Structure 1
Amino acid sequence: MDQLCEKCMKLLQDFVSLVKRMTSSLLQNIKEYLILISECSCVKQKSSEARQLHRPILQPHEKETAREFLQHIETGFRMSPFGKDSLEALRTLAFSENAGLQQSAALYYLQMSQHWNIQLPAEHLEAYCGLLQSSDMEVQQMSSLSLVHFLRKGNINKELVVQMGLPEPILELLESGDSSVQCNSCACIKALAVSESNQKAIGSAGIIPLLALANSYDPRVQQNAVGAILNLTQSERIQEVLCREGALPILILLLESPDSEVQYYSCTALSNVAANVQHHEAMLRVGDRLLLRTLISLLSSSVDKVSSQACVCLRNLSTNVNIQAEIIAMDILPKLLSLLASNNSDVQHASVTLLWSLSQHPANQEALVRREVLQNLGMLLLTHQKDPRIVNHAAYILKNLSLCKNVQRIIESPCMEGLFQAILSTEIQEESLHYLMGSLAELAKHDSATLHLLEWMNGPLIKCLLRLAGQQEHTEPSFQAASIVQRMMRHDKVMSLLKCHMQKVQHYLMNFLNHQEIRFQQLGISTLGKLQEDPEFSYAFNQSQLMERLEQVRQQTEETQELLKMVISHKGS
């Protein structure tokens, strides 16, 4: 280890002085404490509500260990703060029945966790087994706090913490009468419950005490308790335990907490639970749709992550068309429109995802085709071309809404410009281009949309359409692009643009004629037939293999028809 700086050495000297005073006082009063020693083994209290009235005998080896420990931290810390010598000393002090010695060890770890960014070796976790089970309140406070620091800094292996059996004493500390110990133990569970294996190891033993602490009057305890519950909700098995133990009413009521962190944690926990459809009925039964009303209210929260998470929870709940109808009936759109116009991209993403979920059912589409909604979607497409999360969902919403009767509103809205600008953008990602093309292809089925398409039809757009039509790895965008080309060929402007890319046109048509799906073959034949009406295209096609392949398709079709007639005739007889 490198030489410690002057500041760290000063902290180290202060720590040595403190431990010296503590140990000196302890040794001087051994005789006084001897008369208070109890011989009964049951005096060690599981709960730390009552303070211990005696201090046990200081064993000779403990006395020697304390002295050696002081000598070590004075002379040996420079080279090895967590070396073998200190490890043995700390183990002895941590498992001592003397509170003063345990306090020395706990204070040592606390100093390390606060002032040094040092990875705690796995061997030192054994000492925590003794410290966390101490009956001394100060030891519980210091040891649990240092463990929190190590966990939050990532200076301790969380999997090893669980393997060493530390969750058990940590869970016992949840029932401490001291709010600091409760706060620290909740924070430990919160930090540990981030992986599936750890969640399984922690199990359901802490659910009831954590739910009790979620109602704590101490805001620190409440925050960490709800945060721990949140991380545990990532486990489907623990979700079931939470629902069974009455967690839903508690979490729903915490949505109205004045503490935005508690709101966020409880809302995220409910979002995780709502991801499983089996819990929806129980969630909505609390307070007769209280959850829906509260979540919609939280959409107006001034804290972005709270309003964003409320969107996520509503989206997870909106898998059922009846629930969607209830959400829309609660006048959600004004709040949702406000979020779509937010300056926070995460809020915009959450709100556009919720709108996408609501737009999937035909019963809601008429209600969503409003000028304000379309205005916002058009702006999202124009201003967020670098964000595929927003572009993809906005395009998918337009595809869904184009199925309703009032499709003319979409065609006359800024959404059309947003679609074209996004498609022609050099910054758009390939995946987003596929979503945009799906939306444009659906709109292109309406005759009133072709005029807008014609206005935007230029060299770059034709080139983009032909590129998508010619690629074979993504079948839907290929078919959609070719469909748009086929619909627009009746306009001279489009035919002129296509003649500049004769080879690309022949390439995608050949792919379509060779395609296994009938719809591709039919679209290819239809497009080929219309293009042949133009002399330039007809001449080019006759010089290529297209006509030969077309003849093969014709023969295969005739053979198929003959086989079908034979099957039908046999069936009739």
Structure 2
Amino acid sequence: MGSVLCDKCALLFCKFKLRFRNICKEVAHEIAVFFTELAKCTCLSTATPKRRKRRASNHLVLPLLKTVESPLPVSFMEPLMSLLLSTHPDVQKTTCLSLVNLLVKRNVCEELVFEMGMLPPLLEMIRGGDPGARCHACACVTMLASSESNSDALVSEGVIPLLVLAKSYDPQVQQNAAWVLLNLTQSVRSRRVLCRAGAVPVLVVLLQCSDSRVQFYGCSALVNLAADPEHHARLLHIGERYLLKCLLTLMCSPVHKNACQACKCLQILCRNVVVQDQLLELDYVWPLKMLLSSSVLECVQSALRLLSTLTAHPAFHEVLVSEGVFDVIGQMLQHHRSSCDVIVHSCITVHSLSCTCLGQQALMESECLPGLLRALVSPVTPVEALIRLTSCLYHLMSFDFGAVLSGSELETEVMRLSARTEETRQLLSMTGILPASFQEP
């Protein structure tokens, strides 16, 4: 049968064949040079020829694992296992990194890694390996936790040893273990595995650790657990309201992100009626007011979200009003009125707390109402917050607001604001705050 290729294409194939053969010769030459130079190194000179050959093969395997793109045959995993058991820090680090890449690219299945017994040496590296190897080993364990079919193996071989490491006196070991535990709370299945293994008490204890990173990891993990109501019973099972006390203490932390996470965790938990009852028995107002008075916007926003969640439940109203929350909100609005989040949650809180006679009276006597008025006409108030602000002030007009205005300093404030611009006057008129006698220029 004659060739189906034309002369031009046949010539191209011949050139490609010759070029490919030359490339293979060059690669073979480079490999020969590589092993020749490697054999001269003093780090291999004390080993036997057989051991030198094994070490060289191991180093060659590692670069290959970094670039592999297709599923890895099972036979290639055996050398990887022996490399994980190496005591050389560079080999540990590179091997763990290679395993991470293989897991990320799905070149190897998590079940096979478990079956070959790779989890124990990874946990050993977290306990006492090279800093780089520790980091990569943590990533490996996190990737292995994503396998749906390894729940039992993860509990017996992974989670329980990690919980032990999380209580280590070595700060770095404790940080790494807490970080892995946090990553394990990212999925619904892993959260259930953790709770069954007894992770909740360990995570709660981490809130009182002297290391701020460990505190953050532990609190963030609890935030993820609290997102599932099915875990609330375990979270609240620790006696004497221990979790709530720890979260309130963490709200006073000088580390802003830790205080914010504690607020977030409490906010989620407060949807539970049991938590509401327990919190009422604790001094929760003081740390809340402290964060509301912070100069850090992130802390103020977190505290306001928690406050607006609490005010959705009437049981908290009396304590919050009597503790002067309105004054704190008024002072806060002077510094953070450019934040839409601050305005919105302030309005939600004021609307809720002003639904009782006690709340209405406290509002009229506080700095909160002038703060809302100034925010209404402030040039830095976000446009998207004006609707919520106007609605809140309109709601407040259902009270005897005119009697409070008459002859007060607030009346002077309203007149001054109304004289600023026509737009300001329209906003005040829209809310019903501006009396008829003030509406004409």
Partner of 2:394: 441
Structure 1 residues 419, 209: closer, same or farther in 2, change over 3 A?
same
> Residues of 1 paired with 2:427 and 2:95: CA distance?
57
Equivalences for 1:115-134 in 2 at 5 Å?
121=67, 123=69, 132-134=80-82
Equivalences for 1:355-370 in 2 at 5 Å?
355-370=307-322
Is 1:179 the counterpart of 2:127 in the alignment? yes
Is 1:429 the counterpart of 2:374 in the alignment? no
Equivalences for 1:386-465 in 2 at 5 Å?
386-406=338-358, 407-448=360-401, 451=405, 452=410, 455=415, 456-458=417-419, 459-464=422-427
Structure 1 residues 250, 445: closer, same or farther in 2, change over 3 A?
same
> Residues of 2 paired with 1:383 and 1:148: CA distance?
49
For residue 58 of structure 2, what is the amino acid of its counterpart? Q
> Residues of 2 paired with 1:416 and 1:307: CA distance?
28
For residue 292 of structure 1, what is the amino acid of its counterpart? L
CA displacement at 1:142 relative to structure 2:
2.6
Contact 1:189/1:228 (8 A) holds in 2: no
Contact 2:225/2:231 (8 A) holds in 1: yes
Structure 1 residues 390, 250: closer, same or farther in 2, change over 3 A?
same
Contact 2:125/2:134 (8 A) holds in 1: no
For residue 294 of structure 2, what is the amino acid of its counterpart? S
Which of the residues 245, 257, 266 maps onto 2:209? 257
Partner-residue secondary structure (3-state), 2:124: coil
Partner of 1:313: 265
Partner of 2:290: 338
Structure 1 residues 178, 199: closer, same or farther in 2, change over 3 A?
closer
TM-score, structure 1 normalization: 0.58
CA displacement at 1:274 relative to structure 2:
0.9
Structure 1 residues 413, 281: closer, same or farther in 2, change over 3 A?
same
Is 1:102 the counterpart of 2:54 in the alignment? no
Structure 1 residues 100, 163: closer, same or farther in 2, change over 3 A?
closer
Partner-residue secondary structure (3-state), 1:374: helix
Which of the residues 266, 281, 284 maps onto 2:236? 284
Structure 1 residues 410, 20: closer, same or farther in 2, change over 3 A?
farther
Partner-residue secondary structure (3-state), 2:254: coil
Contact 2:241/2:278 (8 A) holds in 1: no
Contact 1:213/1:222 (8 A) holds in 2: yes
Structure 1 residues 144, 241: closer, same or farther in 2, change over 3 A?
same
Partner of 1:568: none
Equivalences for 1:214-253 in 2 at 5 Å?
214-253=166-205
CA displacement at 1:23 relative to structure 2:
7.0
TM-score, structure 2 normalization: 0.74
CA displacement at 1:439 relative to structure 2:
2.1
> Residues of 2 paired with 1:150 and 1:375: CA distance?
58
Identity %: 30
> Residues of 2 paired with 1:136 and 1:320: CA distance?
46
> Residues of 1 paired with 2:176 and 2:280: CA distance?
34
Equivalences for 1:12-31 in 2 at 5 Å?
20-22=40-42, 25=45, 29-30=48-49
For residue 397 of structure 2, what is the amino acid of its counterpart? A
> Residues of 2 paired with 1:150 and 1:100: CA distance?
17
The superposition leaves residues 284-327 of structure 1 with CA deviations (integer Å, 9 ceiling, x where unpaired) of 11134211111112222222222221111111111134422422
The superposition leaves residues 443-482 of structure 1 with CA deviations (integer Å, 9 ceiling, x where unpaired) of 111113672475454532343468xxxxxxxxxxxxxx5x
Aligned residues: CA RMSD? 3.8
For residue 25 of structure 1, what is the amino acid of its counterpart? S
In structure 2, stretches of 5+ residues that fail to align are 1-35
CA displacement at 1:225 relative to structure 2:
1.3
Structure 1 residues 138, 343: closer, same or farther in 2, change over 3 A?
farther
Which of the residues 164, 167, 171 maps onto 2:108? 164
Partner of 2:254: 302
Partner-residue secondary structure (3-state), 2:41: helix
Partner of 1:491: 436
Equivalences for 1:74-85 in 2 at 5 Å?
none
In structure 1, stretches of 5+ residues that fail to align are 1-15, 34-54, 59-97, 110-119, 467-480, 498-573
Contact 2:125/2:137 (8 A) holds in 1: no
> Residues of 2 paired with 1:349 and 1:148: CA distance?
40
> Residues of 2 paired with 1:436 and 1:282: CA distance?
40
CA displacement at 1:147 relative to structure 2:
6.9
CA displacement at 1:124 relative to structure 2:
10
The superposition leaves residues 239-267 of structure 1 with CA deviations (integer Å, 9 ceiling, x where unpaired) of 11111111111111222222221111111
CA displacement at 1:158 relative to structure 2:
7.2
